[in-house]
């Protein structure tokens, strides 16, 4: 039985060690590549600044592998990382799962800086939703918000395999394993300063807690992208809206941009200088 389990794990891990994901639907990678490169060029022309997206072949392969994060949203992450390149602080992802977006982020910072990547996940799936979380989009067809407790659980080994696949050095990242509500009090390796964070915790309470945590550790120009704004649960939108209201009360400390939902469901928070 143990042998069988090890075999299954080995077979599953094999996919995570690959740069490409094989798909039943044939996708002509060169077509995707062509579109993505055109998109990058448009981005760079529209910003017209030095913080351009530098062409990179690995990025395109990582983009083609993403599940649940559309490339249009991923490009907001890529562009934000380019903008934060010269801002002091490390990079964080809250809610890592299999590590697909982690590898994308790691690849960007490997290209352009020596920033450390902090990856936070329980590796036990979602915590119990609060009463502020009402089910909006039943993505796994479970029928109720409560039934999502413990769902989306992934193995840390998958994340390590994804980082290995892009040769991201182990000194460049820290994995903070456990529920953030505990980690925040017990972990002595938390980042002192943060320039960019991708927050993908899905529920009200951990997102609100992360935003308050980041508020203490970011400076002007830092960017926080919160996923699932107005999607899946009512919690992420509520957490962001409350946070912005509380912090923009006297003077506007944050700019909050919510792109058209065709790009994905997320909010981009930029701390003002
Ligand atoms: C939607 S998945 C992340 C997906 C990933 N960012 C991607 O796009 O590939 C959400 C993850 O958040 C983690 N998570 C949710 N709430 C958490 C909490 N309070 N503490 C630690 N991890 C949490 C879950 O274990 C799950 O792996």
Structure tokens at 14: 């094999």
Q: Look at residue 1 in the predicted model and tell me its pLDDT.
A: 66
Query: With pLDDT > 70 as the criterion, what percentage of the chain qualifies?
Result: 93
Q: Which residue's alpha carbon is at the smallest distance from atom 27 of ligand 1? A: 97
Sign of the torsion angle spanned by Cα atoms 134, 226, 177, 141: positive
Domain boundaries, the chain: 61-271
pTM: predicted TM-score of the whole model, two decimal places: 0.93
Which residues, in sequence order, are bridge partners of residue 224?
A: 197, 269
pLDDT over 70 at 22, yes or no: no
Secondary structure (H, E, C), the chain: CHHHHHHHHHHHHHHHCCCCCCCCCCCCHHHHHHHHHHHHHHHHHHHCCCCCCCCCHHHHHHHHHCCCCCHHHHHHHHHHHHHCCCCCCEEEEECCCCCHHHHHHHHHHHHHCCCCEEEEECCCCCCCCCCCCCECCCCCCCCCCHHHCCCCCCCHHHHHHHHHHCCCCHHHEEEEECCHHHHHHHCCCCCCCEEEEEECCCCHHHHHHHHHHHHHHCCCCCEEEEECCCECECHHHHHHHHHHHHHCCCCCCEEEECCCHHHCCEEEEEECC
Q: How far is the C-alpha of 148 from the C-alpha of 141, rounded, in Å?
A: 10
Ligand 1 binding pocket includes 127 (Cβ within 6 Å): yes
Ligand 1 binding pocket includes 122 (Cβ within 6 Å): yes
pLDDT tens profile 135-185: 999 999 999 999 999 999 999 999 999 999 999 999 999 999 999 999 999
Least confident of 9-13, 211-215, 235-239: 9-13
pLDDT tens profile 200-218: 999 999 999 999 999 999 9
Q: Look at residue 47 in the predicted model and tell me its pLDDT.
A: 77
Which residues, in sequence order, are bridge partners of residue 119?
A: 93, 175
pLDDT tens profile 122-137: 999 999 999 999 999 9
For the residues 62-75, what does the mean pLDDT come to?
A: 94
Q: How far is the C-alpha of 95 from the C-alpha of 179, rounded, in Å?
A: 10
Residue 223: pLDDT band with limits 50, 70, 90: very high
Please state the separation of Cα 267 from the chain's center in Å. Answer: 12
The better pLDDT of the pair 16, 62 is held by 62
Q: How far is the C-alpha of 73 from the C-alpha of 263, rounded, in Å?
A: 6
Q: Look at residue 230 in the predicted model and tell me its pLDDT.
A: 97
Q: Which residue's alpha carbon is at the smallest distance from atom 24 of ligand 1? A: 125
Structure tokens at 247: 């912090």
Q: Look at residue 40 in the predicted model and tell me its pLDDT.
A: 93
Nearest ligand 1 atom to alpha carbon 198: 6
pLDDT tens profile 45-60: 887 666 789 999 999 9
pLDDT tens profile 181-199: 999 999 999 999 999 999 9
Q: Look at residue 121 in the predicted model and tell me its pLDDT.
A: 98
Q: What is the DSSP letter of 50?
A: S
pLDDT, mean over the chain:
93
Name the nearest CA neighbour of 55 among 112, 121, 120, 101: 112
pLDDT tens profile 72-94: 999 999 999 999 999 999 999 99
Q: How far apart are the CA of 59 and the centre of ligand 1, in A?
A: 22
Ligand 1 binding pocket includes 68 (Cβ within 6 Å): yes
Ligand 1 binding pocket includes 125 (Cβ within 6 Å): yes
CATH 1.10.40.30 fits 61-271, yes or no: no
Nearest ligand 1 atom to alpha carbon 121: 22
Mutate to test the pocket of ligand 1, among 201, 205, 208 (most ligand atoms within 8 A of CB): 201
For the residues 99-121, what does the mean pLDDT come to?
A: 96
Sign of the torsion angle spanned by Cα atoms 34, 30, 69, 95: negative
State whether residue 233 is helix, strand or coil: strand
């Amino acid at each position: 039985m143990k042998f069988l389990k090890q075999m299954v794990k080995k077979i599953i891990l094999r996919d995570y060690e690959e740069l490409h994901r094989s798909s039943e639907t044939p996708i002509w990678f060169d077509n995707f590549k062509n579109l993505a490169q055109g998109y990058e060029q448009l981005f760079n022309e529209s910003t017209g600044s030095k913080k351009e997206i530098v062409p990179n072949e690995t990025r395109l392969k990582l983009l083609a592998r993403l599940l649940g994060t559309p490339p249009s949203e991923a490009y907001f992450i890529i562009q934000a990382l380019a903008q934060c390149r010269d801002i002091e602080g490390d990079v964080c992802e809250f809610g890592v799962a299999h590590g697909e977006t982690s590898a994308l982020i790691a690849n960007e910072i490997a290209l352009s800086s020596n920033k450390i990547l902090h990856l936070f996940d329980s590796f036990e799936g979602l915590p119990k939703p609060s009463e502020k979380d009402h089910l909006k989009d039943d993505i796994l067809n479970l029928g109720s918000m409560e039934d999502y407790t413990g769902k989306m659980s992934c193995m840390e080994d998958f994340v390590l395999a994804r980082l290995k696949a892009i040769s991201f050095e182990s000194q460049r990242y820290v994995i903070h394993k456990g529920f953030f509500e505990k980690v925040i009090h017990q972990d002595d390796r938390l980042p002192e300063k943060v320039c960019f964070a991708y927050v993908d915790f899905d529920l009200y309470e951990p997102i609100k807690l992360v935003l308050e945590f980041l508020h203490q550790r970011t400076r002007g120009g830092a960017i926080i992208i919160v996923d699932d704004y107005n999607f899946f649960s009512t919690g992420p939108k509520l957490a962001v809206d409350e946070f912005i209201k509380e912090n923009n009360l006297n003077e506007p400390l944050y700019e909050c941009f919510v792109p058209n939902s065709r790009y994905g469901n997320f909010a981009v928070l930029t701390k003002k200088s």
